[in-house]
Amino acid sequence: MPSAEDSMTPHAVPDVGFRSERGPVLIALMLTTALIAIDATIVATAVPSIVADIGGFTSFPWLFSSYLLAQAVTVPVYAKVSDMVGRKPVVLVGIGLFLLGSVLCGFAWSMPVLIVARLVQGLGAGAVQPMAITIAGDIYTVAERARVQGYLASVWAVSSVLGPTLGGVFASLGLWRAIFFVNVPVCLLAAWMLARSFHESVHRQRHKVDVLGSFLLTVALSLLMLALLEGGHTWAWDSPVGVGMVAAGAVLLVLFVLVERRAAEPVLPGFVLTRRLLLTTTLIAFGVGAILLGLTSYVPTYLESVLGAEPVVAGLALAALTIGWPIAASQAGRIYLRLGFRATNLIGVALVVAGTVLLALVVTLFPALLGVAAACFVVGLGLGLTSTPSIVAAQSSVEWAERGVVTGTNMFSRSVGSAFGVAVFGALSNAVYTRLGNHGPEAIAEATGVVFIAAVVAAVLTAAAVLAMPRVSATPAA
């Protein structure tokens, strides 16, 4: 099947900078990535102002759950559709939904309305984020792709600092609605640049859309993700609601598997989980998601509650992780072109294990702000050398017609890993915190210490997935 890679002749244009033929597309991809990355953090610091204005304190956690849920469960469907009709229409629809959701958020007059608007934003994000990485995989060679992935990773690094800062500034000025309206010009600019500069050749043919499979998958994943996101918070794990959601999701997932066996064009093809390379890289993404969100959730809590650090200082210490990631990701290409994908992943996961062990030792034996920041930096370096090469390896192992669903599955696995990690880490932390009874800094220190030990276990399990990864050559012509 002809692809955007054919139409833009990447081999004839070795420059991957912003002034190259593909420069406008790269800028547009970075803009769309920035939309999702900033929106993931900018709302958190403005929650008090939002609640003071429109109320709904007890419901505000759904501002995050509705967004994450809608984003995660739609990724596999968008990914499959992009393999059928092309990336361009899917990413433009995603930007349009994100724009609509942003406008609705800006005009929201109550917390329920804002939650629904955030869900619309999430529906758009579910298309935008995986399509940005898939398009990069389409128009850049393996040799070029690591550098491009470094650009995209740098967007996340900058956004991790810029998002909370902008949210705090707008909130302090009483302009929390501007948090959402600022997305409007960025959406319009990114959509215009993609519509104008990104061209792909898609072989048009009749497709049999897997409507039943898409419905079963979406509902099943929604129930399971919701159970992971809200279990232990909104309802107890062993409550009828919690158990019922998991049971219903599991039943629907079994039905989905049965339906997919007979579907002409399944929304989630079986090869995604039967090919060794794709299975191992999917498991690696799961581990990366669990470790990343586990640390970002509990490192600030530890620093502020145990070491007495100011929120800004705690944020800067955690930023060491997001700084290390793009640094390593930008250099990953040079390494995997010389050593191969598996060896690069082994180096990366070794750093992740070392960083999480260092973090666990620091918080339990030698509590120090700089020690925590150093450990986070090492983990960030490891994640950059693990995440980028694994997804590039997965993309490079398939043709255009399968690249969307492969990329989507990888990113969905990271989302599930994040939700699963937060649920498990939260359950461990709460169990220790409750058992101790004393709710002072000592209890928080012990509870977060258990979380960081669990992160070591997650890193070791991720290393096992890397060890199971087959050796795949990485050549510029791939």
Q: Would the pLDDT of 422 be above 90? A: no
pLDDT in tens, 23-74: 888 888 998 888 888 887 677 667 778 888 888 766 777 787 788 888 888 8
| Per-residue burial over 152-178, b = 16 or more CB atoms within 10 Å of its CB, e = otherwise | bbbbbbbbbbbbbebbbebbeeeebbb
Kindly indicate the confidence band of residue 473, based on its pLDDT and cuts at 50, 70 and 90. Answer: low
| Per-residue pLDDT at 58 | 67
CA dist., res. 88 & res. 331, Å (int) = 29
pLDDT in tens, 105-138: 999 999 889 999 999 999 999 899 889 888 988 8
Q: What is the pLDDT of residues 264-282, one digit of tens each?
A: 777 777 788 888 999 999 9
Angstrom distance (rounded) from CA 375 to CA 369: 10
- pTM for this structure? 0.81
Looking at residue 15, its pLDDT comes to 58
| Confidence tier at 293 by pLDDT (50, 70, 90) | confident
Reply yes or no on whether the pLDDT at 7 is more than 70: no
What the block records as the tokens of 265 is 């064009």
CA distance 165 to 475: 41
- Range from 84-88, 102-106, 293-297, 371-375 carrying the lowest mean pLDDT: 293-297
Task: Give the residue from 299, 317, 287, 45 showing the smallest Cα distance to 169.
Answer: 45
For the residues 314-322, what does the mean pLDDT come to? 78
Q: What is the rounded average pLDDT for all residues in the chain?
A: 83
pLDDT of residue 11: 39
Residue 383: per-residue pLDDT? 93
pLDDT score recorded for residue 296: 79
Tokens of 359: 């973090």
Q: Is 9 left (phi over 0), alpha (psi -120 to 50) or beta?
A: left
Q: Do the Cβ atoms of 74 and 126 come closer than 8 Å?
A: yes
pLDDT of res. 478: 40
Q: Helix (H) and strand (E) counts for the chain? A: 18, 0
Say whether pLDDT at 8 is over 60: no
Q: Is the pLDDT of residue 412 over 90?
A: no
| pLDDT of 353 above 50 | yes
- What is each CA distance from 5 to 83, 92, 145, in whole angstroms? 14, 19, 12
Q: Are 361 and 185 in contact (CB under 8 A)?
A: no
